[in-house]
Amino acid sequence: MNRKSLKLNDSDSLFNEYNSLKDAPLSHRMRPQNLSEFVGQKHILGSEKLLTKAIEADRLSSLILYGPPGVGKTTLAQCIANKTKTTFERINAVSSNVEELRKILATAINRRKTFNRKTILFIDEIHRFNKAQQDVLMPDIEEGNIILIGATVFNPSFSLIGPLLSRSALFELKSLSDSDIIEILNRALRDKERGLGKLAIKADQTALKFIATICEGDARRALNALEIGCLTIPEKDGQISFNLKVAQESIQKKHVVYDRDGDGHYDTASAFIKSMRGSDPDATLYWMAKMIYAGEDPRFIARRICICAAEDVGNADPQALILANAALQIFEFIGLPEARIPLAQAAIYVACAPKSNACYLGIDQALEAVKNNRIQEVPIHLKNTSYPTAKRLGHGEGYKYAHNFDGHFVDQDYLTIKEKFYHPQNIGYEKIIEERLKKHSQGRL
């Protein structure tokens, strides 16, 4: 059966067609057929929620559903189509193209004019469409020929064009809670039509809780694990025992939601940096461990440590940047898994070091001065004297060589207009720097 050819007409259910396939995975068979069966997402679904009211009133406008895998984006779109009794067209942006889009849009226009019937165009992985493909949708969305429902695991603010976003309501679906997953698993075990209810299964609730925790809010993965376990272990005394050991074997390895180019990547990196900045070595190690476990490039981790060492520690402890750079070089020399240790050492050092962002603030303030104010002329006594005619132009005249004076300091002007950009903070090594600069300041009086 060609999935692209399936349409939802009148009371026919796309799910019933799927359910008639005995070989369909449990996760497919157990998809909710209506909103009353939908589990989770209470922040957007409920009697008083905007989305629910729009669906119930059949006043739905185009919308974008985004969130991690297995939380119900596709299922919600199909439940909406069931409820609103519209024609449901489904494509996947990975395999679709402009030609197919134009055919669907032309059919939708004809359907609207001839039968006054709405068309929901569901585009899975809509972020895969390029700008030109997204632009094709705009006129028909604008004229109401289609109701677009797009699904993506990426933040649409970064993956979809502005005009499409402005014409669509955005709804973020969140990872399902452990209790949501357990409810879905128990429902699959009870359901005799679509689920595993015809089998004599004794499921240990500890095993179900383990699956719910390991699957990180992904209902599809949880149901797949349940099905694998229940259908591969032999019966004993006419009963299938789904216990913790079976659950662990069904999962094999914990899955970490970490898309290298999406929110999982950037959110985890953000938590890692903010934990170092916030002087929490334990949180720092946890987020770094997640990145390593998920297969992040250790160079990315090392770069984040170097940036934090300069931006958030700075001269409060200059050793932090040296150690961070050393960890980067050590990784290039020895690689993983051993390099995880110097990376951890550097990250912990940065997390535990005294903090100062004076260097970061100073360079940004100086850049603003260069950008917004008149560029200062280099004082003539500081100008280059290395070429023959420099002295004839007066370059270097009056320059005082600091090492010829007591304390290797001499009072002279280095800017034509006095401006202060670096403000050392009274912490760590910057205490010493601050005291030294105060003495120099007194020497300029």
DSSP 203: E
Q: What are the tens digits of pLDDT across the range 109-134?
A: 999 999 888 899 999 999 999 999 99
| Fold exhibited by the domain 373-443 | post-AAA+ oligomerization domain-like (1.10.3710)
What pLDDT score was predicted for residue 438?
A: 87
Cα separation, 81 vs 324, whole angstroms: 54
What pLDDT score was predicted for residue 258?
A: 66
What pLDDT score was predicted for residue 429?
A: 93
Cα separation, 202 vs 185, whole angstroms: 13
Task: Answer for the pair 226, 211: CB distance below 8 angstroms, yes or no.
Answer: yes
Q: What is the CATH number of domain 3-172?
A: 3.40.50.300
What pLDDT score was predicted for residue 204?
A: 92
Task: Answer for the pair 359, 311: CB distance below 8 angstroms, yes or no.
Answer: yes
Cα separation, 272 vs 275, whole angstroms: 5
Residue recorded with tokens 């879905």: 184
What pLDDT score was predicted for residue 22?
A: 66
Q: What are the tens digits of pLDDT across the range 345-362?
A: 999 999 999 999 999 999
Second-level CATH architecture of 178-251: Orthogonal Bundle (1.10)
Per CATH, is 263-352 categorized as 3.40.50.300? no
What pLDDT score was predicted for residue 363?
A: 95
Two tokens, residue 119 = 């068309």
What pLDDT score was predicted for residue 439?
A: 84
Q: Give residue 133's Cα distance to chain centre.
A: 24
Q: What are the tens digits of pLDDT across the range 52-72?
A: 888 888 788 899 999 888 898
User: Which pTM value belongs to this model?
Assistant: 0.63
Q: Give the DSSP H/E element, type plus range, for residue 241.
A: strand 240-242
Work out the average pLDDT over 393-410: 90
pLDDT bracket for residue 241 (50, 70, 90): very high
Residue recorded with tokens 């005995």: 22
Return mean pLDDT, the chain.
Answer: 87
Two tokens, residue 243 = 């216990």
Same fold, 263-352 and 373-443: no
Cα separation, 354 vs 340, whole angstroms: 23
Cα separation, 225 vs 223, whole angstroms: 5
Answer left, alpha or beta for residue 157, where phi above 0 means left and psi between -120 and 50 means alpha. Answer: alpha
- Of 79, 147, 61, 146, the C-alpha closest to 110 is 146
Q: Where are the domains of the chain?
A: 3-172, 178-251, 263-352, 373-443
Burial of 60 (0-12, 13-18, 19+ CB in 10 A): buried
Beta bridge partners of 393: none
Cα separation, 181 vs 222, whole angstroms: 7
